[in-house]
Structure 1
Amino acid sequence: MGKKKTVNLEPETPYHTYTVDKVAAHLKTSVVEGLSSEEADARLKTYGANELEGNGGVKWYKVLLRQVANVLVAVLTIASILAFATKDFAEGGVILFIIVMNAAIGFWQEFNAEQTMEALRNMSSPTAQVIRDETRITIPNNQAVPGDIMIFEDGDVIGADCRLFEVFNLETDEALLTGESLPVQKNLSLIEKEDEALGDRVNMVFASTTVVKGRAKGIVTNTGMKTQIGQIATSLMSVDSNEQTPLQKRLNKMAYFVFLAAIILVIIVFGVHKFKYSSEAAIYAISVSIAIIPEGLVAVVTLTMAFGVSRMAGFKAIVRRLSSLESLGAVTNICSDKTGTLTQSKMVAVRMWIPGEGFHRITGTGFSPEGEIYRQVRLIQDASQTNEELVPVGAGSDHYTRLIQAASLCNMAEIRRTNHPEVHGEWTAIGDPTEIALQVLAHKAGLSKPDLVEKGFKLVCEFPFDSSVKRMSVLFQAPPTADSPGDHYIFMKGATERVIGSCTSWREGNVEHRLEEEKGGDRARFEKMVFDNMDTLAEKGLRVLTLAYRKFEAVPGVDLVHGLERDEVESNMTFLGLVGIYDPPRAESRPAVLQCYEAGVRVHMLTGDHPSTAAAIAKEVAIIPEDVPIVNNPLIMTAAQFDAMSDEDIDKLPELPRVVARCSPNTKVKMIAALHRRNLFAAMTGDGVNDSPSLKAANVGIAMGQSGSDVAKQASDIVLTDDNFATIVKAVAEGRRMFANIQKFVQHLMSANVAEIVVLIIGLAFKDREGNAVFPMSPVEILFLNMITSSPPAMGLGLEPPSESNMREPPRSAKQGLFSFEVVMDTFVYGLVMGALSFASFSIVVFGFNNGERGTGCNSRWSDSCEGVFRARATSYACMTLLILAHAVNCRALRETGWSIKNLMTLKHNKMLWLSIVIGALLVFPVLYIPGFNRNVFKHSAISYEWGLVLVSLVIFIIFAEVYKKIKIKVMKPLNLEANSQAEMERMRSYMTQPETDSVLEGTVVGNGNSNRILKQR
């Protein structure tokens, strides 16, 4: 065992005993502005990367060991030993050189691929939100430095040890460090004991622990090995760099099959020689076993995988698990979120509705608070038309003011002008896009959160947004007055259905109306009024948020920070109004969705928005046709509808819904299960902590890199660095391209092996004067064909760009392995034809041009009597070389012609492939014509008129390949989809307008989310 590495740690600084100001002074930072970029870079050089030593990394000796510890090297080593034992030093030396070269090439390729994968894994490691240059930014966690101002939110994995200076209901899971299973509640209390137990350092948070609840800001005190987790040398974030993908497992099985076949062929060779051992028989047996093993396969697979991962990173998709690369090509359904994925996530509040005051219009764009708020007034000019007048609101009513206060204070976002020299004076924002839109609205109304706080509003308690209740609430103390020390108010915002469920009254101007609980009373009329106006906003594609408040009477002796229950606080609320927020779709979303339909991939939108809002955006991005109704649409459901259905009822649906609104994390899991029961292959996007179950349940889990929590990223297979739906489609296309290319080069390599076996096995029937089998190809020729001729074109096939039909073919079956019927058939058909043509050339030269003279000992040395065999062997080798290179062109497509001018012109896009073909063809000449080298090493002689046979064989093979492909096109089922995106739309329209039938949805909540409307779904 090696020596265990120890880490020399400096005495720990007791930051938990320091005040916030003292910590900031000690680390020379500002809790408001953070560090500058220049200072952060300097500290990164001083303190080093924020990562644990020995965490991952590429070990060169392990990569090298994998190159030499395999069946191929064992077979080649035996061949080399036998060659040296029979004093054939030239052949033994060449085989030994091949062993070293194969190991070197494989090591270089795999080592670089491992380094690429390691770099990409680092890119997908947890990120940190910090304040630098007065701006909140997201950085790779390993770039955090002491003095950074780090921001934590629900679901984040904390990236460094930090001293807290701002806390709101923060609870962290520290079981990793303390073993305590319950979350630890944090506060800003100063701790006096320097040796206080970790679990009691409530003003600190520690690296690798998880935020269970709330949010906070802290000053980074320690990073890397100086963190508490670093001191015990434990890593939670490691990724197994040696994981085997399904493809690699299939290739391993193929290797065992090939090894078994090699043993059988060796037995056949010795059987032909009546099991009498001789050096000739042994070398021939080794030659046959070498011929059947695709020596370059491992290196080619490694290169293709590395190239695929690198391309995905270029598309802004970071692959965390290699198996997802292969899975992407089988995806049949994509379940996507709306906000930020299909849309731009650049939200702006554009409409408001206030009871008694009607609709309001808000002008302005982006983060800038420049804009006006107008009240819309309709003036009837005549019986046929109306005109809309916009009246500036000005100061507004008390009701209006209270609504803006709710939007401003029930909000964690910040907007401000930056003083950074590069973007001086521009407005920037920190926080959730929805909250930013509300905060900008509050600024436009002159009631921004900083202004209200400055006037005396104090945050007492916060209940953050929870996807299970779909609302957020805060408790604020208003400024003191002459009559009271300051009233307490609860402000709430959230989804309309969830907010009005907490309301027992509503305001109309300065009048407060109480709601009766019995059905059919004031509540029913109130809900109809709210939902009708919400529908008006939602049908314009606006995301609707509902605001409410109530005056809170504090109970003496009750801790208002930790002694309140959420259910108690979020009750007896007063409804204030609605705010409509617009989030425009990304320009690339619609083309990407249409491309999915062309590829046979169906898209589902699972969103927390109102059904009308979701449907409006779904129409804009082509998830559903634009000319179909929203109500009574079986492809648009609410989560309440979908969750209320049993698995049996869901399975009876002709088609699963394309849009699920008001979606919860459990709904996503249920959708994945429904897709799996239909034997469909699903990709699911997610960003929150609660999305982790659905990300794990999906065949391919895709986390959002910008808005996603670290927990979601760890549960995912792929991380999108741009949170863009179009990137998912690019990833699917890349998965298809990579799998198709692997099939291409496997077919190419195995066809060459089959061809060589055909030549060698038939060659057993030809004996020399002493009764020994005559080699149609020498062992060195076989090695050269496998390593130098076959492998480079195979690598080129692995780098082939996607075909034109790549995204116009149906997804491959998830159960379909690498060796489909067509691939296996092509492998043997092409291999048999190449082998037959090559052996035919050998036979014609021996029997047609040299009267059947086969000499004696022609397998090991040249003599005058062996000249005919040596020339025949050279002809067979040249023929096989050109056929293998020509077959690389055939393998570019299973059925499309490879020899048309158009397809040959596209070769220029794959430099690796055409260079390997050209160089491979040119290498034939030195191998054939260098004196001494040709006869002593390769066991063949220079040829002249025999080139005619080679060229004729090449032409015959090309003609055969073209005819064979045309037969396949006529006989086999087409690969391309008959239905395109337009046909998919027509199919949906047909389904949406089918005659009414008894439905499993009858009696459930309607698709537009209105809780008091019960309609029949078609």
Structure 2
Amino acid sequence: MPKKKKINVEPETPFHTLTVDQVAEYYSTNTLEGLTSEEATKRLTIYGSNELQGNGGVKWYKVLWRQLANALIVILLIATALSFATTDYAEGGVILFIVITNATIGFWQEYNAEQTMEALRNMSSPTAQVIRDEANVTIPNNQAVPGDILIFEDGDVIGADCRLFEVFNLETDEALLTGESLPVQKNLELIEMVDQPLGDRLNMVFASTTVVKGRAKGIITNTGMQTQIGRIATTLLEVDSNETTPLQKRLNKMAYFILLAAIILVIIVFAVHKFQYTNEVAIYAISVAIAIIPEGLVAVVTLTMAFGVRRMAEVKAIVRRLSSLESLGAVTNICSDKTGTLTQSKMVAVRMWLPSDGFYRITGTGFIPEGDIYRQGESKNNEFEMQEEQIPTGTGSDHFLRALQAASLCNMAELRRAQRPESSGEWCAIGDPTEIALQVLAYKAGMAKPDLLDQGFKLVAEFPFDSTVKRMSVLYQGPDSENGAGDYFIFLKGATERVIGCCTYWRDEDIERSLDGKEGTERETFEDLIVEKMNALAEKGLRVLTLAYRKFDPPPGVDLVHDLNRSEVESEMVFLALIGIYDPPRAESRPAVLECYDAGIRVHMLTGDHPSTAAAIAKEVAIIPDDCSITNNPLIMTAGQFDSMTDEAIDKLVELPRVVARCSPDTKVKMISALHRRNLFVAMTGDGVNDSPSLKAANVGIAMGQSGSDVAKQAADIVLTDDNFATIVHAVAEGRRIFANIQKFVQNLMSCNVAEIFVLIIGLAYKDDSGSAVFPMSAVQILFLNMITSSPPAMGLGLEPASEQNMQEPPRSAKQGLFSFEVIMDLLVYGCIQGLLSFAAFSIVIFVINDGSLGHDCNAGFSESCRTAFRARATAYACLTYLILAHTINSRSQRQSGWTPKALKSLKNNKVLWLSIVAGCILVFPVIYIPGLNHDVFKHSAISYEWGLVAAATVIFIAASEFYKWCKRRFMKPLTIASNSSLEMERMRTYMSQNDSMDIMKQ
């Protein structure tokens, strides 16, 4: 038993009693610039990885036990024991050697696979947002070091112990450490008591706790085993690496079926010999049992799955659950978010509308705050005026400046130039992409947040963005005036329909006009105007945000930090402006969506954006036809429309909506349930903490690795490291390739076993001079064919690249196992043809070329009377060897010929396959011609003219295989779907012309 490694936990430093400056000095860090990459690397060496020690890892003895505790291996061990019991030591030794070799290969492959999965689990562990080299970067959490500046927000799992220095309404769940069920509200106040309980250390946050509300920044004080969670536990819960996947369950069932079949075959052998036990009968029974077992299957499956996981990582998809690797090939529908997945997540403010001034156009791209602002005036028929007036920086109407002030201050994003020489003064940004876009706009207008703060604006309180209310507000105190302290202002931004409900006034130049006047129609008229202008922006593919503000008179004695009520603060607001922000689609999104249609996969966009914005982007990426109308379109719905429908009404829809706007977490779950009721297989993307229910409800949950919260990543099956929709399509293609390859090599291996059984069972009819059955093939020959001849090519089949039809075939049924009707038919047909040809060659050598005498006791060893039997056995062995290798080329495709010049040329793309075929062809000769090895071990002898039979059998097999494939192509249903992207677009247009959303709602 290995001795446990002692974990060194250093005495605790009371960082909660130190000021922020003292902690920064202690770790030689800067709260604005963070550490440099070089310094972080040095500290990683000093402090070690930010992870708990003793987390299990890969146990070699468990992997080895899984190789031995296998029904197939047990049969071979029984055969070994029986061989030694019957004094057939050569055969018993060979079988034992094969068992050890098989276990070694399986152990090596699976051990490597386990290490791969362990590495990938580490890659998919929670990430950390830190400031390094003056820029916000995302790193694996285990790379965080003391002194790093850690940034976290709602939904994040905190990766290390931190001393807080910037807090905005932060509340954390510390039940893991303290048992306290209620969230803890944090602050920056210094704590003097050294031994203060953990639950009362309000200026600290701790590793593995969760942010319930707000956002903050902190200096990492402890990592790994030095954290509070590390002091309590010495190990993390080990991720279950022994998860039984659907594929493994199917293989286990197959093993039990094979075991049952082996028992039946053994009974048949003894029944033919009238249940009279002799060594020869026992050995023959062992040979038959060995013949039905695909000994190399475990190693081949392990190699294929390990290679598949690596391939997925190469295409930037981290597999967290092995079962999802198999599930991807069955995906029929993909429900995708828009921002960052289909688009670039580089928001740019390009339009603005003010009630008093009309439309403005903003130029410039990215994080660079360089560009001009032009006033365009009002729009006519939603077309913007081309006569423009440039607005000089820092000027404009009071209404215009107040709107830009709101955009700048109701904003947590930071924008600054990097000071590092290698960055050449490049602009960098930290924060949400939408807020960065607004901050860039404010810079262009001369209203940069740092300048406003320098002028005297002070942040008092913040109500962060909440997905349930879809807005954010801040309370600021303005600069001091000659009359005393500055006025208080509340600035609000968010979704238009959520902000307009908070407004009771609108700004008309310098006049604030009421929306709730005596006539009672002012609000309705104004809201109609807002909807018109919002649609003018949204139909251009812009995401529309709304700004509002009001002066605030705090009630006497009210704590402005803790006693404010959000609903009261966000009321009686003054409407300021609409901001149109553009997030351009990724260049690869449209081709990826069209590829989905070619593969029989339908794509749905579920987004929080306005319907017009969502529809405009959906058109650009081909989710809906680009020539369809946005209004009264049954393929476009809001979450309100969709949620208001009963399950029965949804099930009556011919088509589920392709675009659902203003989506909530519950809407996503409802969409998944609707798809499941139609027996469809769903992949769902998500990034927020609220997406966890839908990620778990989907058949395959896909989280965003860059923008996704840690909670979403933990709930997902797959994590995309590049947040790109095209990567999902690559992952689906890889899932299809893996499943197809598994079917290929399982069919290939089982065909070999069927051929061997065919030969052995019919061979029972051939008796020697003493009346005993003569083996057409010896047990060692069978083992050599199963392990050495057929297993390496089968591994090559597992590594086959995807076929050209991979993404032109319909998704396989989720209930479809490995053994579809066609696969079973293939293995029986190919197996019987191979067996028939081999047995025919065996028979021709005995009865046609020779006199039909089989000698005496030829199963035990060589004698002159057994020369014919030994030559016939060698012929059958050589024949079956080349048929198996030829069938490997057949198995590369179920329907297409493997012997065309193009197909043979493509073999060079799979070195493992063609090298294993060449090696298999060469290995026949030493096995047949080396003296001693041929007579004493393999129980056959050298052959000469019999090679003509081997060549003839190979040619006949290839011809029969080609004819069989031609019949399948001619009479069976095509594998490729009769649909493509053009037909899918036309089908959607037809559906839209026959239905409209009003009719749907009436239903």
Verify same fold: TM over 0.5.
yes
Q: For 1:628-653, what per-residue CA distance to the aligned partner results, in whole angstroms no more than 9, with x for missing partners?
A: 10001000011111111111111111
Q: Give the equivalent residue in structure 2 for 1:784.
A: 784
Matched, 1:702 2:702: yes
- CA separation of 1:564 and 1:234: change in aligned 2, threshold 3 A: farther
- How many residue pairs end up in the alignment? 1000
- CA separation of 1:445 and 1:667: change in aligned 2, threshold 3 A: same
Q: Give the equivalent residue in structure 2 for 1:389.
A: 388
On the 8 A contact 1:701/1:718 being kept in 2, the answer is yes
Matched, 1:600 2:604: no
Cα displacement (A) at 1:379? 12
- CA separation of 1:517 and 1:178: change in aligned 2, threshold 3 A: farther
- CA separation of 1:352 and 1:234: change in aligned 2, threshold 3 A: farther
Cα displacement (A) at 1:515? 0.9
Cα displacement (A) at 1:377? 4.2
**Partners of 2:44 and 2:649 in 1: CA distance:** 57
**Partners of 1:555 and 1:981 in 2: CA distance:** 62
Q: Give the equivalent residue in structure 1 for 2:951.
A: 951
The code of the aligned residue for 1:196 comes to: Q
The code of the aligned residue for 1:445 comes to: A
**Partners of 1:473 and 1:518 in 2: CA distance:** 29
The code of the aligned residue for 1:390 comes to: E
Normalised to the residue count of structure 2, the TM-score between the two structures is 0.98
On the 8 A contact 2:759/2:835 being kept in 1, the answer is yes
Q: Give the equivalent residue in structure 2 for 1:893.
A: 893
Q: For 1:844-863, what per-residue CA distance to the aligned partner results, in whole angstroms no more than 9, with x for missing partners?
A: 11111221111111112000
- CA separation of 1:385 and 1:210: change in aligned 2, threshold 3 A: closer
Matched, 1:671 2:671: yes
Residue correspondence of structure 1 range 83-482 to structure 2 within 5 A: 83-233=83-233, 238-377=238-377, 387-394=386-393, 395-482=395-482
Cα displacement (A) at 1:476? 1.1
- CA separation of 1:950 and 1:211: change in aligned 2, threshold 3 A: same
Cα displacement (A) at 1:239? 2.3
The code of the aligned residue for 1:476 comes to: Y
The code of the aligned residue for 2:946 comes to: E
Cα displacement (A) at 1:348? 0.8
Cα displacement (A) at 1:930? 0.9
Q: Give the equivalent residue in structure 2 for 1:7.
A: 7
Cα displacement (A) at 1:405? 1.1
Q: For 1:20-57, what per-residue CA distance to the aligned partner results, in whole angstroms no more than 9, with x for missing partners?
A: 11111112211111111111111111111111112241
- CA separation of 1:998 and 1:358: change in aligned 2, threshold 3 A: closer
On the 8 A contact 1:125/1:237 being kept in 2, the answer is no
The code of the aligned residue for 1:134 comes to: E
Q: Give the equivalent residue in structure 2 for 1:1007.
A: none
Cα displacement (A) at 1:520? 6.2
On the 8 A contact 1:688/1:708 being kept in 2, the answer is yes
Q: Give the equivalent residue in structure 1 for 2:873.
A: 873
On the 8 A contact 1:378/1:388 being kept in 2, the answer is no
On the 8 A contact 1:379/1:387 being kept in 2, the answer is no
Q: Give the equivalent residue in structure 1 for 2:736.
A: 736
On the 8 A contact 1:229/1:235 being kept in 2, the answer is no
The code of the aligned residue for 2:178 comes to: T
On the 8 A contact 1:379/1:388 being kept in 2, the answer is no
Q: Give the equivalent residue in structure 1 for 2:66.
A: 66
The code of the aligned residue for 1:952 comes to: A
On the 8 A contact 2:634/2:1000 being kept in 1, the answer is no
Cα displacement (A) at 1:508? 1.4
Q: Give the equivalent residue in structure 1 for 2:938.
A: 938
**Partners of 2:593 and 2:612 in 1: CA distance:** 20
On the 8 A contact 2:862/2:935 being kept in 1, the answer is yes
**Partners of 2:151 and 2:656 in 1: CA distance:** 40
Matched, 1:820 2:817: no
Q: Give the equivalent residue in structure 2 for 1:648.
A: 648
Residue correspondence of structure 1 range 953-992 to structure 2 within 5 A: 953-992=953-992
Q: For 1:680-704, what per-residue CA distance to the aligned partner results, in whole angstroms no more than 9, with x for missing partners?
A: 1010000000000000000000000
Cα displacement (A) at 1:267? 1.3
State the SS of the aligned residue for 2:576: strand
Cα displacement (A) at 1:790? 0.9
Q: For 1:61-93, what per-residue CA distance to the aligned partner results, in whole angstroms no more than 9, with x for missing partners?
A: 211121122223222222223333333332222
Cα displacement (A) at 1:537? 0.8
**Partners of 1:118 and 1:219 in 2: CA distance:** 29
Matched, 1:576 2:549: no
The code of the aligned residue for 1:567 comes to: S
**Partners of 2:485 and 2:435 in 1: CA distance:** 30
Q: Give the equivalent residue in structure 2 for 1:1011.
A: none
**Partners of 1:518 and 1:23 in 2: CA distance:** 60
Cα displacement (A) at 1:4? 6.1
Q: Give the equivalent residue in structure 2 for 1:924.
A: 924
Residue correspondence of structure 1 range 25-40 to structure 2 within 5 A: 25-40=25-40
State the SS of the aligned residue for 1:923: helix
State the SS of the aligned residue for 2:666: helix
Matched, 1:832 2:832: yes
**Partners of 1:800 and 1:744 in 2: CA distance:** 9
The code of the aligned residue for 1:970 comes to: R
Q: CA RMSD in A?
A: 1.7
Structure 2, gaps ≥5 residues long:
none
State the SS of the aligned residue for 2:719: strand
**Partners of 2:280 and 2:493 in 1: CA distance:** 87
On the 8 A contact 2:595/2:981 being kept in 1, the answer is yes
Residue correspondence of structure 1 range 480-495 to structure 2 within 5 A: 480-495=480-495
State the SS of the aligned residue for 1:767: coil
Residue correspondence of structure 1 range 50-65 to structure 2 within 5 A: 50-65=50-65
- CA separation of 1:379 and 1:828: change in aligned 2, threshold 3 A: closer
Residue correspondence of structure 1 range 849-868 to structure 2 within 5 A: 849-868=849-868
Matched, 1:802 2:812: no
Cα displacement (A) at 1:928? 0.8
**Partners of 1:819 and 1:338 in 2: CA distance:** 38
State the SS of the aligned residue for 1:851: coil
State the SS of the aligned residue for 2:994: coil
**Partners of 1:99 and 1:997 in 2: CA distance:** 66
- CA separation of 1:7 and 1:911: change in aligned 2, threshold 3 A: same
Structure 1, gaps ≥5 residues long:
1003-1016
On the 8 A contact 1:604/1:659 being kept in 2, the answer is yes
State the SS of the aligned residue for 1:439: helix
**Partners of 1:190 and 1:528 in 2: CA distance:** 52
Q: For 1:291-342, what per-residue CA distance to the aligned partner results, in whole angstroms no more than 9, with x for missing partners?
A: 1111111111111111111111110000000111111000000000111111
**Partners of 1:997 and 1:42 in 2: CA distance:** 61
Structure 1 runs (4+) deviating above 3 angstroms are: 1-6, 234-238, 377-380, 384-387, 517-520, 995-998
On the 8 A contact 2:376/2:386 being kept in 1, the answer is no
**Partners of 1:379 and 1:510 in 2: CA distance:** 22
On the 8 A contact 1:458/1:478 being kept in 2, the answer is yes
On the 8 A contact 1:208/1:236 being kept in 2, the answer is no
**Partners of 2:499 and 2:675 in 1: CA distance:** 32
- CA separation of 1:518 and 1:975: change in aligned 2, threshold 3 A: farther
**Partners of 2:854 and 2:38 in 1: CA distance:** 79
Aligned residues: percent identity? 74
- CA separation of 1:269 and 1:589: change in aligned 2, threshold 3 A: same
Q: For 1:409-467, what per-residue CA distance to the aligned partner results, in whole angstroms no more than 9, with x for missing partners?
A: 11111111101232120001111111110000011111111111111111111111111
- CA separation of 1:899 and 1:518: change in aligned 2, threshold 3 A: farther
Matched, 1:720 2:720: yes
- CA separation of 1:434 and 1:387: change in aligned 2, threshold 3 A: closer
Cα displacement (A) at 1:705? 0.4
Deviates more, 1:389-398 or 1:544-553: 389-398
State the SS of the aligned residue for 1:416: strand
Cα displacement (A) at 1:518? 8.9
